[in-house]
Amino acid sequence: MQLLSPQNFKDYELIDVGGFEKLERFGQYITIRPEPQAVWDKVLTNIEWEKRAHVKFISKSSSSGEWKKLKAMPDRWNMSYEIKKQESRNKNLEPASTISFRLALTSFKHVGIFPEQASNWDYIFDSIKEMKTPTPRILNLFAYTGGASLAAKAAGADVTHVDSIKQVVTWSKENMEQSHLENIRWVVEDALKFVKREEKRGNKYNGIILDPPAFGHGPNGEKWKLEDNINEMMKGVLNLLDEQEHFLILNAYSLGFSSLIIENLLKQKAKETLHVGELFLQATEGPKLPLGVFGRFRNY
């Protein structure tokens, strides 16, 4: 099992984590947000946290709350990530690319980026650059604000971005434009419905990325529950992979969801190329914060 954490993410820092909270720097601004997995004690004191932070999220319910500003800062700001090429068989890879994000203080505690996914953005970029297919077709499901879509497009792929929330897709478009990219295909639809339709059409993709939530809803009220729907979803997704060249990434952030579940879902297709493990963020002050399990494989 692998443990993966982003390296050299200059615009992001997990400063400390504990007491069911995390102290993070996004660009030049520092936030305090709830973190249900941080069951241990903080390294720094609460006074030190509030001295450093610009803003703190105050929960009002399990799914919403409000931000309390401790120092002056805007409600929206920007940050970027430089995608690093990996060790590769292809020695003629192009230089690293920078993707940019518009961040915001939302009522559901998120700011528009999941920093731990940067480990996957590097993998996506590298995988596409190694392919012989001139313009690989990439499908990003449950795509949120599009970090994986931006990484794929920056590598030269033909990208289809699927999310069920129109406002989030609009946010993704802003990130594309801010990253000086263009021509991502945007689809506002229930991800499972989209996959079933693509199966019927016989469409194939060279890369598929999934980051499904534990719970969710489609644009027409379709219900998604990870443990109930993931097996059906993966059966369809695996049928969409191009037989000659492909990669796949499956993330799952759900308390109690084991990487062995990911292995069982993917091992028949992936065979010897499957890698499973956990994503985490390393705090500057010491602790490691687990942020979900993953499985990924590729075939060239």
CATH for 240: 3.40.50.150
Let me know if residue 45 belongs to a domain. Answer: no
Where residue 88 falls among pLDDT bands split at 50, 70, 90? Answer: very low
Please say whether the beta carbons of 96 and 121 come within 8 A.
no
Please compute the mean of the pLDDT values over residues 143-155 and round it to a whole number. Answer: 97
Which range marks the domain in which residue 195 is found? Answer: 76-299
Let me know if residue 214 belongs to a domain. Answer: yes
Let me know if residue 246 belongs to a domain. Answer: yes
What is d(CA 197, CA 53) in angstroms, rounded to the nearest whole number?
46
What is d(CA 15, CA 5) in angstroms, rounded to the nearest whole number?
14
How do residues 228-263 score in pLDDT, each as one tens digit? 999 999 999 999 999 999 999 999 987 678 899 999
Please compute the mean of the pLDDT values over residues 147-171 and round it to a whole number. Answer: 97
3-state secondary structure of 240: coil
Where residue 96 falls among pLDDT bands split at 50, 70, 90? Answer: low
Domains contained in the chain, number: 1
Q: Which residues pair with 100 in a beta bridge?
A: 80
Let me know if residue 52 belongs to a domain. Answer: no
Please compute the mean of the pLDDT values over residues 190-212 and round it to a whole number. Answer: 96
Let me know if residue 27 belongs to a domain. Answer: no
Whether 92 has a pLDDT exceeding 80, the answer reads no
Let me know if residue 185 belongs to a domain. Answer: yes
Q: What are the structure tokens assigned to 190, written together? A: 């229930």
Let me know if residue 40 belongs to a domain. Answer: no
Please compute the mean of the pLDDT values over residues 155-177 and round it to a whole number. Answer: 97
- Specify the higher pLDDT residue, 219 or 51: 51
Please say whether the beta carbons of 10 and 37 come within 8 A.
no
Let me know if residue 280 belongs to a domain. Answer: yes
The model carries a pTM of 0.93
